Amino acid sequence: MLRFTDTLTGDKTEFVPRNAGRVSIYACGPTVYDVPHVGHARSALTYDVLRRYLRWRGFEVSLVQNITDIDDKIIKRAAERGTTEPDIARIYEADYDHEMTRLGVEPPDHRPHATEYVAEMVAFVDELMATGMAYVVEGNGVYFRASKLADYGALAHRSADELREGAGARVEIDERKEDPLDFVLWKAAKPGEPTWPSPWGPGRPGWHIECVAMSLDILGESFDIHGGGDDLAFPHHENERAEAVGAGKSFARYWVHNAMVNVDGEKMSKSLGNFTTLGTLLDNYDPRALRLLVLQTHYRKSMEINGPALDQALRGLERLDALARRMPDVDATGAVDAATAQTFADDVDDDLATPSGVALIFETARRANAALDSSNRALAASLVATVHALCGAFGLALEAGATETDAEIDALIAARQAARGARDFAEADRLRDEITALGIVVEDTPSGPIWRRA
C-alpha cells in the first residue's frame, strides 16, 4: 500500500490517486537567477526518484515542473549585470538544464514558464477580485485577503491568529495591507521593471500565482501531489493553496516536502554563502554517487552532503558496478527475482522509503556475488538482473565497464599475462605497476583479466 506523509494533515496516509493507475505531480522548480546548488539537486532528485519509482510500480506519471523566470531576484540580477531579465532567465535555465542532465534527472513532462502564463494569472486574480477574496492597494497592486479563507495557515499548522502573532519576526510587515497575513497577487509596475497589462494597471505576478495557474491548467483540479523543498511549505505553498481554494478550486490532494541539505548543521543557502554549486560537485564526483547518497537518506530528513559523505557513497556505488562487471551480459531486462522485487515494493511504498530499498539492493548484490562465487550462474543472473531493475527504479544506472579497447593497454595486459604464465611474477608486477600508472585497474578473474579506468 502506497503511503505518503502529507504536510497538510501531518500524517502518513494512504495514497489513492485521482484516477486509478495515473499520478499527476507538480514539483516546484527553480527561480532562475543564479546557478543551481546542491540543495536544488536534492529536491530534483527526490521528485525524479518519486516519479521513476511510481512508474516502476506501474503508474502512468505526469510530472510538471515550472521555471519561474520573472521575480524580484531576476530583476535585481539583471540590473546588476546591466542586462535584461529574459537574458538572466535564459542563462540560468540553460545552466539548470545542463546540471540536471548530468545528474540523470529526466526532463519533466511539462515545463511551463511563468512568463507564458501571465494572462492566466491575470484572469485568476480577476476571479479573486470578483469574489472579494482580493483587494487593490492603489499604486501597489492586488492583495489576497487572507482573513477570508477559513483555514489560512493549514500547511504551516498554525491558526491565522498565531500567524499574526509571529508575523514580522523576520521580515518587516508592509503597513499598506489590511492584515499582516495578506500577500500580494499582482505587483504594480515600478520604473524600469518588466510589466504586463492588467485591469489594475501594468504590473507583474505576485506570490507564486504562476504555480497555481500552471498546475491547474496542465494537471487540472485535484491533481495528486504537490512537492517541493520544505522551506516552501510556508508561505510559498500556503499562499498557492490560499489562491486556489479562495477561487473555489480543488488543489493538490497530497503535499510532499523534502528536507534541506545542511552544511555543518546549517541549511545550505545563498544568503549564508555556504553553498556548493552543483556544477562544481558534478565536476568532481560521479553524479550517481550523489544520487545514491540522497537515496540512502530518507527524503524528509535533513542531511549533509560533503566530500566524505560522497566518498562513502562512491565506494558503495563501486560495489554495485563491480557486480555488474561480473555479469556484463545481464541487465534489467533479465528475469528478476519476484520475491525480492515484492519486498522492495513493500518497503519503498511506505513513504518513499528509499533507504530500505537501497539496503535491499545491497543485500541482493551480496547474494548475487555469493551465487557467482559458488558458480550458481542461473541464480546469479536472476539476482543481477534484479539489482539492475531495482537500481533502475531509482534512476541509478550501473556501469558494467569498459567496452572500449585500447591497443596500448591491451598490449601491456597481454605481456603481463605472458609473464604470469612463465611464472615471472616480478615482471608481471612491474607491468601491473605500469598499467596502474596509466590510471587503469586490472582484475584477474577466472575467465582472464579485465580492466577499467580507476
Partner RNA sequence: GCGUCGGUGCCCGAGUGGCCAAAGGGAGCGGCCUGCAAAGCCGUUGCGAAAGCUUCGUGGGUUCAAAUCCCACCCGGCGCUCCA
Site for RNA in 236-275 (CB under 7 A): 236, 239, 258-262, 265-271
List binders of RNA among 93-152 (CB under 7 A): 146
Q: Minimum CB separation from RNA for residue 19, in Å?
A: 26
Report how far apart, in Å, the C-alpha atoms of 435 and of each of 61, 373, 412 are. Answer: 47, 27, 7
DSSP H or E run through 267: strand 266-267
- Told to check if 194 binds RNA by CB under 7 A, we report no
Q: Minimum CB separation from RNA for residue 273, in Å?
A: 12
Residue whose CB is less far from RNA, 17 or 205: 205
Choose, by CB under 7 A, the member of 120, 126, 230, 399 that binds RNA.
Answer: 230
Please state, in angstroms and rounded to a whole number, the distance separating the CA atoms of residues 109 and 380: 36
| Candidate segments 114-122, 233-241, 278-286, 328-336, binder of RNA by CB under 7 A | 233-241
Q: Which residues contact 246 (CB under 8 A, 6 or more apart)?
A: 128, 131, 133, 134, 144, 148, 149
Residue whose CB is less far from RNA, 10 or 22: 10
Got the DSSP string for 85-106?
A: HHHHHHHHHHHHHHHHHHHTPP
Report how far apart, in Å, the C-alpha atoms of 213 and of each of 118, 127, 234, 361 are. Answer: 9, 12, 19, 40
| Candidate segments 50-58, 103-111, 188-196, 224-232, binder of RNA by CB under 7 A | 224-232
Residue whose CB is less far from RNA, 285 or 362: 362
Please state, in angstroms and rounded to a whole number, the distance separating the CA atoms of residues 102 and 432: 33
Choose, by CB under 7 A, the member of 130, 422, 443, 453 that binds RNA.
Answer: 443
Choose, by CB under 7 A, the member of 24, 31, 62, 276 that binds RNA.
Answer: 31
Got the DSSP string for 207-263?
A: TTHHHHHHHHHHT-TT-SEEEEEGGGIIIIIHHHHHHHHHTT----SEEEEEPPEEE
Residue whose CB is less far from RNA, 134 or 261: 261
Q: Minimum CB separation from RNA for residue 73, in Å?
A: 6
List binders of RNA among 42-61 (CB under 7 A): 42-43
Choose, by CB under 7 A, the member of 108, 235, 287, 395 that binds RNA.
Answer: 235
| Candidate segments 15-23, 174-182, 195-203, 283-291, binder of RNA by CB under 7 A | 174-182
Over the window 73 to 92, marking each residue x when it contacts RNA by CB under 7 A and - when it does not, the resulting string is x-------------------
| Candidate segments 52-60, 101-109, 122-130, 322-330, binder of RNA by CB under 7 A | 322-330
Under the phi-then-psi rule, with left for phi > 0, alpha for psi from -120 to 50, and beta for the rest, what region is 279?
Answer: alpha
Residue whose CB is less far from RNA, 18 or 343: 343
Q: What's the 3-state SS for 52-75?
A: HHHHHCCCEEEEEECEECCCHHHH
Nearest Cα neighbor of 453 from 282, 310, 318 is 318
- Told to check if 302 binds RNA by CB under 7 A, we report yes
Cell of 243: 489562491
93 C-beta neighbours (distance < 10 Å), count: 18
| Candidate segments 52-60, 121-129, 154-162, 380-388, binder of RNA by CB under 7 A | 154-162
Q: Minimum CB separation from RNA for residue 310, in Å?
A: 10
Q: Minimum CB separation from RNA for residue 134, in Å?
A: 14
Kindly determine how many residues on this chain lie close enough to bind RNA according to the rule CB under 7 A.
101
- Told to check if 388 binds RNA by CB under 7 A, we report no
Residue whose CB is less far from RNA, 18 or 427: 427
Please state, in angstroms and rounded to a whole number, the distance separating the CA atoms of residues 51 and 16: 15
**Burial tier of 277 (Cβ tally within 10 Å: 0-12, 13-18, 19+):** middle
Please state, in angstroms and rounded to a whole number, the distance separating the CA atoms of residues 135 and 366: 64
Q: Which residues contact 236 (CB under 8 A, 6 or more apart)?
A: 28, 207, 208, 228
List binders of RNA among 328-367 (CB under 7 A): 350, 353, 355-356, 358-359, 362-363, 365-366
Residue whose CB is less far from RNA, 87 or 373: 373
Over the window 401 to 420, marking each residue x when it contacts RNA by CB under 7 A and - when it does not, the resulting string is -------------------x
Most distant CA pair in the chain: distance in Å? 93
